[in-house]
Structure 1
Amino acid sequence: MFHTITAHPNITQAEHRALPFVSNTDLSNLKARLLGQPRTSNPQAFTFGASFHQAVLEPYIYTPPTGQLPPAQITLLEGLAATVRRQRYCRDLLYRGDAELSFSATHEETGLQVKIRPDLLVTTPRLGRRVLVDFKTTSCCDYAHFVATVEQYDYDRQAAFYSDVLQADRFMIVGVQKKAPHDIWLVELSADAATMEQGRKKYRRLLRAYVEQYPVGVLRNAWSSDTALETIS
């Protein structure tokens, strides 16, 4: 499905977004465009998500987004990040995993170069199996409602896309409830073959549509606002 998988070590989020390859966000933007539902930027949501991820995954470089978010939102994101880092299973994943690594690869069918940046890549010590972990904040009231958002927000597509690029064995989502009691939910999408196949069909269809919409050489021009539109949930 993908070949020429290349690691891009030690690059920042901004440098990752600047790579001239197709991302999962690009696929979301294309889907919205094809459906006549263009995505609008939400700077506060982007800042909240980016800061939350940094506080969880890279606390050593975390800086409070003072002036970009209301104090109550900063307090919330820092509290959620602390809750995640204290939770036993998440603490173990964070200890064993590598955060914010960027990779690119070439999609065999279309020839498109793609890029991914999983929140966390865990490689098991004995068998060398790859486990991808993605952290998402949510306003859902319970676990069942959160699981129902997997298809709604195309988490199945992200799981299949990332897993296929890196030939990962497992893909897990850690859902973090924004409202009290601030529960943490673990959902292993790779445990459901039907979910992964559905996600695989989604990203393949969109990659084909991408080539049809944007000839080689002008692919990135259409997404000059990629950074502004990307929402880290």
Structure 2
Amino acid sequence: MFTNHRHHAGLTQEAYRALPFLSNTDLTETKNQALGITRQPNPQALQFGSHFHTAVLEPEHYQRTTERLPWQQIEDLAAAVRRQRFCRDLLYRGQAEQTHTATHEATGLTVKVRPDLTITSSKTGRVVLVDFKPTSAQDYAHFCGAIELYDYDRQAALYSDLLGAARFIIIGVRKESPFEVWQFEATPAPGLIEQGRKKYERLLKVYAQQPRPVVPTVSVMPAQTCIPTYSRA
């Protein structure tokens, strides 16, 4: 399914974004284009999520900035995660935000993933992936109902298949007080990973069939005159 797996140890978030490969977010954009959806992500929501993940996964790097964000809410959410015994254990044992790339065999496309936490057993090599998601869901049932709606099943399948993970755990953190923390096991859920796999494979095929942009190249002639020629990538 995936080959040429490579672990990019120590890569920053900025360097990850700069990698010229397909991410789960790119697949969402491909889906939106195919459906004619022009809605753009909310910049403040993206900033909120970024700072929340820093506060949870790398608290030593967390600090407030001049951005107009609900900083106390972000800190309350992170504190709720760390108060939860199961989450504390995951954070203690896991590696935060490790970048991996691999080639999807069926399309030849290179995919990049960056799980929130990767836990690898030193004895068995068994891999467990964890993803933290702030949520506006009012209760656990509504949070579970949003798994398919927001394509978390696709993310779980993509990450698990690329890394050969045995488990994919989604931790939902309710944005409103009392900031409840919910655990959802994606891997054993009947048909969920299979459904997510169908989603990402279909979108990878759609992306692969899209016309690639014309890329200029430069040929150096004997007289040292540079004449641009064009080839399709």
Normalising by structure 1, what TM-score? 0.89
Structure 2 Cα separation of the partners of residues 208 and 155 of structure 1 = 19
Structure 1 Cα separation of the partners of residues 111 and 56 of structure 2 = 26
- The superposition leaves residues 57-107 of structure 1 with CA deviations (integer Å, 9 ceiling, x where unpaired) of 01111121x32124xx10000111011012100000000000000000000
Structure 2 Cα separation of the partners of residues 152 and 41 of structure 1 = 16
Percent identity, aligned pairs only?
55
Structure 1 Cα separation of the partners of residues 42 and 200 of structure 2 = 24
CA gap 1:146/1:217 in 2 versus in 1, 3 angstroms:
farther
Give the deviation of 1:216 after TM superposition.
8.3
Structure 2 Cα separation of the partners of residues 216 and 105 of structure 1 = 23
Query: Which residue does the alignment assign to 2:110?
Result: 113
Tell me whether 123-132 or 27-36 shows the greater mean CA deviation. 123-132
Q: Specify the code of the residue in structure 2 equivalent to 1:24.
A: N
Structure number with bigger Rg: 2
1:168 aligns with 2:165: yes
CA RMSD of aligned residues (A): 1.3
1:8 aligns with 2:8: yes
- The superposition leaves residues 109-138 of structure 1 with CA deviations (integer Å, 9 ceiling, x where unpaired) of 000000000000011233221000000000
Give yes or no for contact 1:29–1:38 (8 Å, CA) kept in 2. Answer: no
Structure 2 Cα separation of the partners of residues 207 and 217 of structure 1 = 20
Q: Specify the code of the residue in structure 2 equivalent to 1:158.
A: Q
Query: Which residue does the alignment assign to 1:56?
Result: 56
Structure 2 Cα separation of the partners of residues 103 and 187 of structure 1 = 23
Task: Map residues 187-202 of structure 1 onto 2, 5 A cutoff.
Answer: 187-202=184-199
Normalising by structure 2, what TM-score? 0.89
Q: Which has the higher contact order (CA 8 A, sep 6+)?
A: 1
Query: Which residue does the alignment assign to 2:128?
Result: 131
Query: Which residue does the alignment assign to 1:24?
Result: 24
Give the 3-state SS of the residue equivalent to 1:3 in structure 2: strand
Task: Map residues 74-223 of structure 1 onto 2, 5 A cutoff.
Answer: 74-215=71-212
Give the deviation of 1:39 after TM superposition.
3.2
CA gap 1:124/1:193 in 2 versus in 1, 3 angstroms:
farther
Query: Which residue does the alignment assign to 1:225?
Result: none
Aligned length: 215
Give the 3-state SS of the residue equivalent to 1:187 in structure 2: strand
Structure 2 Cα separation of the partners of residues 86 and 102 of structure 1 = 27
Structure 2 Cα separation of the partners of residues 110 and 216 of structure 1 = 18
| Unaligned segments of structure 1, at least 5 residues | 219-233
Give the 3-state SS of the residue equivalent to 1:200 in structure 2: helix
More strand by share: 2
Give yes or no for contact 1:30–1:210 (8 Å, CA) kept in 2. Answer: yes
| Unaligned segments of structure 2, at least 5 residues | 216-233
Displacement over 3 Å in runs of 4+: 214-218
Query: Which residue does the alignment assign to 1:69?
Result: 68
Structure 2 Cα separation of the partners of residues 39 and 113 of structure 1 = 26
Give the 3-state SS of the residue equivalent to 2:122 in structure 1: coil
Structure 2 Cα separation of the partners of residues 88 and 201 of structure 1 = 34
Give yes or no for contact 2:157–2:196 (8 Å, CA) kept in 1. Answer: yes
